[in-house]
């Protein structure tokens, strides 16, 4: 290795890629985990959403209605809305107990109890009492309970309007304020709604750790196999050696990320329902790749730095527990406390910046030149700092000592 430092860098890069590709099974798993996982997630989520809509929003529903003989018109109207009453048997106390027991063990989602004074209150023009019985901790019942409540509210509005008309009063008089909705969300933003929630979490994680295995094996693995010392004994500068190893890992991570984006584009095209509305155009995929490229470099540099301090491959792999969790923290934080995207400081914070940029792309919004500049400068700046830290680790002579 008496050639130029850049020639040394390319030699190390070719060596690491050639060594890694010898293990065909690891290579296949590394490159195909992300591309295969994405279609499974998309197809699974699309199918589950479709099944839930069919079973809880569109399919005819049968529920317990206790005291249904007191409100035959209401029961008949609900049946016309696809919400039928189950056949009643036993006393009202027994019916109520059976309904409560079914909801507690979650075999039923909702039940109705008609108030004993329902008929009298109805005839007197008073609000007639109907109790919706449900378990608020059961997430599976949310859609069903909402469907029943909306049906009851609609029935109440219609009955109230008829009462006013019977008295010669325009029903519109009770609406002092007419509220209308005007949605300013672009079609691209609506198409990217689901994408903006799921995709950033997964892509940020895969971009960050896509080249983790080769990064660890090229440093901690070679140190454990005692093959790193001969390489460090050559005249090649340490920065060229560590750069060659990092670029090999980054190249693998970039290939993995590209395959993942292509698989997402394919799966979103093949899956029906709302998945077809997602923005998976070529420009959108290219923007995602540009956003995530610095993260690939950050991940490989950080993992190389950590692997250089590990004495064995097992010790280096122990870092994966928190490394996987690290890029997901901003995504989970944004779910609980969303931030306005106008603040420029967000585009300088690692992982948060990637998340915000990905959300912009998936919503079809154009980031400003200032936002792109801050993001790319800070992201590549962090990658350079971590590269310098890894180079500093490689300059320590104890790196060549195994055990």
**Mind listing the domains of the chain with CATH numbers?**
5-49+189-400 (no CATH), 60-158 (3.40.1710.10)
Residue 303's pLDDT is what?
92
Looking at residue 376, its pLDDT comes to 92
The pLDDT of residue 336 is 64
Between CA 397 and CA 302 the distance in angstroms is 20
**258 and 290 Cβ atoms separated by less than 8 Å:** no
Q: Is 109 buried (19+), middle (13-18) or exposed (0-12) by CB count in 10 A?
A: buried
pTM of this prediction exceeds 0.75: no
CB proximity list for 214: less than 8 A, separation 6 or greater: 16, 20, 30, 248, 249, 252
- Residue 267: predicted pLDDT: 72
CA distance 222 to 402: 9
Q: How far is the C-alpha of 337 from the C-alpha of 321, rounded, in Å? A: 25
Per-residue pLDDT at 342 = 63
Rg (CA), the chain: 31
Strands 83-85 and 130-134: unpaired
Going by C-beta distance under 8 Å and a sequence separation of 6 or more, which residues neighbour residue 326? 208, 351
Instruction: Tell me the mean pLDDT per 10 residues along the chain, length 403.
Output: 75 83 75 71 66 64 87 88 84 86 85 89 86 82 83 87 81 71 61 60 82 84 82 85 90 86 75 58 83 92 89 84 82 67 79 84 78 92 93 80 57
Neighbouring residues of 14: CB distance < 8 A, sequence distance ≥ 6 = none
Rounded CA-CA distance 236/13 in Å is 13
């Amino acid at each position: 290795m008496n050639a130029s430092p850049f020639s040394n860098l390319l030699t190390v890069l070719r060596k690491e890629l050639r060594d890694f590709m010898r293990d065909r099974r690891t290579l296949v798993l590394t490159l195909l985990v992300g591309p295969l996982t994405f279609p499974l997630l998309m197809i699974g989520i699309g199918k589950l959403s479709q099944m839930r809509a069919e079973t809880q929003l569109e399919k005819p529903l049968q529920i317990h209605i206790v005291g249904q003989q007191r409100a035959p018109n209401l029961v008949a109207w609900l049946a016309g809305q696809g919400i039928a009453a189950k056949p009643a048997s036993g006393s009202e106390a027994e019916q109520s107990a059976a309904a409560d027991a079914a909801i507690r063990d979650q075999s039923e989602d909702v039940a109705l109890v008609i108030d004993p004074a329902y008929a009298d209150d109805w005839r007197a023009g008073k609000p007639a009492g109907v109790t919706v019985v449900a378990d608020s901790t059961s997430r599976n019942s949310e859609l069903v309970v909402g469907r029943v409540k909306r049906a009851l509210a609609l029935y109440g509005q219609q009955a109230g309007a008829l009462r006013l008309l019977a008295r010669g009063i325009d029903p519109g008089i009770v609406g002092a304020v007419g509220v209308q909705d005007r949605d300013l969300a672009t079609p691209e933003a609506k198409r990217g709604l689901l994408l903006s929630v799921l995709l950033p979490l997964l892509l940020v994680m895969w971009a960050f750790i896509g080249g983790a295995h080769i990064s660890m094996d090229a440093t901690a693995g070679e140190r454990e196999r005692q093959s790193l010392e001969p390489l460090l004994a050559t005249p090649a500068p340490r920065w060229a050696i560590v750069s060659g190893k990092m670029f090999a890992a980054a190249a693998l991570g970039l290939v993995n990320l590209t395959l993942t984006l292509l698989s997402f584009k394919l799966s979103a095209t093949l899956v029906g329902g709302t998945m077809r509305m997602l923005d998976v155009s070529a420009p959108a995929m290219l923007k995602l790749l540009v956003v995530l490229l610095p993260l690939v470099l950050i991940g490989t540099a950080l993992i190389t730095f950590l692997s250089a301090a590990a004495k064995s491959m097992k010790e280096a792999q122990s870092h994966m527990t928190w490394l996987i969790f690290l890029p997901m923290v901003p995504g989970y934080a944004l779910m609980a406390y969303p931030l306005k995207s106008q603040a420029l400081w967000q585009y300088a914070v690692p992982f948060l910046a990637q998340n915000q940029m990905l959300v912009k792309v998936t919503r079809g919004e154009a980031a400003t030149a200032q936002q792109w500049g801050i993001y790319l400068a800070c992201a590549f700046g962090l990658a350079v700092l971590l590269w310098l830290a890894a180079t500093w680790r490689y300059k320590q002579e104890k790196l060549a000592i195994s055990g």
